[in-house]
Amino acid sequence: MRIAIDAMGGDHAPKSTVEGALAAAKEWSDIELILVGRKEELEPLLKEAPANITLHHAEEVIEAEDEPTRAVKRKKDASMVVAGRLVHDGLADAMISAGNTGALMTTGLFVVGRMEGIKRPALAPMIPTLDGRGVLALDLGANMDSKPEYLAQFAVMGSIYRRKVHGLENPRVGLLNVGTEPGKGNELTKAAYPLLEGLPINFVGNVEARDVLTGACDVLVCDGFAGNILLKSLEGTAGALFSLLKQEFTKSLKNKLAAAVLMPSMRGLKQMMDYKAHGAAPLLGLGGLVLKAHGSSDGEAFMNAVRQAREAVKAKLNDSIAEEISREQVGQ
Amino acid sequence: MRIAIDAMGGDHAPKSTVEGALAAAKEWSDIELILVGRKEELEPLLKEAPANITLHHAEEVIEAEDEPTRAVKRKKDASMVVAGRLVHDGLADAMISAGNTGALMTTGLFVVGRMEGIKRPALAPMIPTLDGRGVLALDLGANMDSKPEYLAQFAVMGSIYRRKVHGLENPRVGLLNVGTEPGKGNELTKAAYPLLEGLPINFVGNVEARDVLTGACDVLVCDGFAGNILLKSLEGTAGALFSLLKQEFTKSLKNKLAAAVLMPSMRGLKQMMDYKAHGAAPLLGLGGLVLKAHGSSDGEAFMNAVRQAREAVKAKLNDSIAEEISREQVGQ
């Protein structure tokens, strides 16, 4: 299988992307990695590259500050766009990028292209949970105003992803809502509820925001607006609490000494709550697999993203999604 | 001024309501408190009541488990409904209840009645912030699907409340959104943005969920759905973190000893993050002032709710809101 990597995307690229690619190519002999980016910068880093890494030149780079849609339109020879084209043309089975998120979603939609029958692709990061299973939340992307049938498609795609890529047998799918009773919610969630009930998934009903972290479900379905509010308030609250704790813990010498003992535990917790550390987020519902790695990814994070891509391609994730969507006429 | 108290509402009623009323009546001689509830239960507690407390009998009680709309409709002689009627009839300037939230919103809407020109009343609790100022968030009530003009009215009402009741000079009003740039958001927030810009308030633009706790604004405007997701994920994350910390801190004897030193700080933090402890939430946009005290309120919490009601009535909160809404034709 062939996996394209946007070698220029991410805060530490191309060092991080090349390091990750080298490690992954060594680990798995059944993959071919295509590093897409500026030859001049990549070649020096790839002197002792194994045979299953190839370089694909792309002259331009989309920057973090670029306006997404315009950047994808104008920079036709950007590493991200070229990687997307490889997927579109069937020359790669998957692509990974740690670049500009908006630009990657635009690349997914307009370069890779939507999967037939899918109304809206969805960005699906993992949110850490207390029980360590994590929850795949979708959509955390650009679909600010969703329709009930989009949510139904998100539910099916998320459920298949967790089954095929994470090996969960019967993933519990929840609908982000303001109460657990079926009649609760806004117009969107009230209309989505019966649609989700009718799907061949393990729908566990409405899930309140406060129960997400305790692991109430394995897949959390929501529109992009509510999902953003959820994710950013998790992030904000955790950050605020840690900074408050730090303040309290350095108030006196006594506190400082006690806090020093607890520091390793605190650091572990902080890491656990950092959703960015929990792997690359798939963009589901496209003609090929696209994975968004976090901007700050290092070599190890890229290697892990390759692992995810490999699992998904091996498990024929996209074929399963396409089949299920068309067989059940989900959202049609 | 007269303030009606639903003496039967709350987990610790009527002990808590009577205690709070006694303390408040003693503290402020310019108020008359009307305790509404079952005579048989209240009289024994009121033996040495000062002259500015009167008892108003109401035979029934709305329970926490009651279905809100039905309860308000059927239990016409419930303490909450009777207190609402006193406000509607001009026999009380404000009412306070720690009872069933849904029933209180129904009482507000159908017994007290909407203020002229107001499309939707809003429930506005305070969310604690790191800088200690707190943020008044509205709507956290029943308006799941808002319209831009409702949000505009929320902005005006919240701004006036913080000015009149909390004494903030120029409260910063923010719009809960997924990014800080003006063009960000869903259809609702994109349409609300220019409306808020046009109001005679200190509109500071979009506020992301992660910046709410750090005190990015004094009034946070949102629809009831997004507000619920925000508040419950703050609550859930704080709860999850504290339980994780507890787990870590009791892992070994060394940790336990260190944690014991830090316990007072931790407890303080936990309390600080508990939005329920931050006073009663006004229901804004009604014909009279209605305050929702938390269900677990004790005597002190009720006394504080009376303090809030007294400030609001003294400051002619409702007249100011009515004037501003009609003068500026907000949401019309």
- pLDDT, tens digit, 9 for 90 and up, residues A265-321: 777 777 777 666 668 999 999 999 999 999 999 999 999 999 999 999 999 999 999
Nearest one of B100, B5, B10, B91 to B55, comparing CA atoms: B5
CB–CB contact B232 A209 (8 Å): yes
C-alpha B124/C-alpha B112 separation (Å) is 17
C-alpha B172/C-alpha A261 separation (Å) is 41
Nearest one of A112, A98, A108, A100 to A68, comparing CA atoms: A100
Determine which of B67, B131, B214, B225 to mutate to test the interface with A (most A C-beta atoms within 10 Å).
Answer: B225
Q: Per-residue DSSP letters for A205-241?
A: EEEEHHHHTTTS-SEEE--HHHHHHHHHHHHHHHHHH
Radius of gyration of chain A (CA): 21
Query: What letter would DSSP give residue B276?
Result: G
pLDDT at A119 over 80: yes
Determine which of B232, B237, B248, B270 to mutate to test the interface with A (most A C-beta atoms within 10 Å).
Answer: B237
Q: Show Cβ contacts of residue A310 under 8 Å, excluding neighbours closer than 6 positions.
A: A1, A3, A28, A30, A31
Determine which of A228, A235, A245, A257 to mutate to test the interface with B (most B C-beta atoms within 10 Å).
Answer: A228
C-alpha A140/C-alpha A278 separation (Å) is 15
Please give the sequence-ordered ranges of beta strands (E in DSSP) within chain A, or none if there are none: 2-6, 32-37, 53-57, 94-97, 122-123, 126-127, 135-138, 172-177, 202-208, 219-221, 281-284, 289-292
Q: Which two tokens stand for residue A126?
A: 């993992």
Could you report the per-residue pLDDT of B213-229, keeping only the tens digit for each?
Answer: 999 999 999 999 999 99
Distance from CA of B18 to the nearest CA of A (A): 32
| A 102-141 residues with CB < 8 A to B | 130
Judged by phi (left if over 0) then psi (alpha if -120 to 50, else beta), residue A186 lies in beta
Minimum CA–CA partner of B270 in chain A: A241
**Distances, alpha carbon A261 to alpha carbons A241, A245, A264, B266, B302, in Å:** 19, 14, 7, 16, 42
C-alpha A167/C-alpha A261 separation (Å) is 38
State which amino acid sits at residue B27: E
CB–CB contact B130 A243 (8 Å): yes
Q: Residues A259-266: what's their mean pLDDT?
A: 79
Radius of gyration of chain B (CA): 21
Q: Residues A195-213: what's their mean pLDDT?
A: 96
Q: What is the pLDDT of residue B238?
A: 85
Determine which of B69, B256, B262 to mutate to test the interface with A (most A C-beta atoms within 10 Å).
Answer: B262
Could you report the per-residue pLDDT of B19-76, keeping only the tens digit for each?
Answer: 999 999 999 999 999 999 999 999 999 988 899 999 999 999 999 899 999 999 999 9
Which member of A229, A237, A258 has the closest CB to residue B261? Answer: A258
Q: Which two tokens stand for residue A11?
A: 């805060």
C-alpha A271/C-alpha B121 separation (Å) is 42
C-alpha B285/C-alpha B121 separation (Å) is 4
CB–CB contact B233 A230 (8 Å): yes
* Structure-token match 């503290």, residue found: B27
CB–CB contact A236 B214 (8 Å): yes
Q: Is B272 on the interface with A (CB under 8 A)?
A: yes
If you count them, how many residues does chain A have?
A: 332
CB–CB contact A213 B230 (8 Å): no
Q: Which two tokens stand for residue A164?
A: 């095929």
C-alpha A236/C-alpha B213 separation (Å) is 7
Rounded to 5°, angle at Cα A220 from A165 and A126: 50
Q: What is the pLDDT of residue A188?
A: 97
Could you report the per-residue pLDDT of B63-82, keeping only the tens digit for each?
Answer: 989 999 999 999 999 999 99
Residues of chain A with Cβ-Cβ distance to B145 below 8 Å are 186-187
Backbone angles phi, psi at A307, to 5 degrees: -60, -45
| B 220-259 residues with CB < 8 A to A | 223-226, 228-241, 243-245, 248-249, 251, 254-255, 257-259
Residues of chain B with Cβ-Cβ distance to A252 below 8 Å are none
Is there a contact between A289 and A282 (Cβ–Cβ < 8 Å)?
yes
Q: Residues B142-163: what's their mean pLDDT?
A: 95
CB count in 10 Å sphere of residue A183: 8
What is the ipTM for the molecules in this complex?
0.91
Q: Is B266 on the interface with A (CB under 8 A)?
A: yes
Residues of chain B with Cβ-Cβ distance to A245 below 8 Å are 265-266, 269
Q: How many interface pairs between A and B have CB atoms less than 8 angstroms apart?
A: 168
Q: What predicted TM-score, i.e. pTM, was given to this entire model?
A: 0.92
Q: Is B263 on the interface with A (CB under 8 A)?
A: no
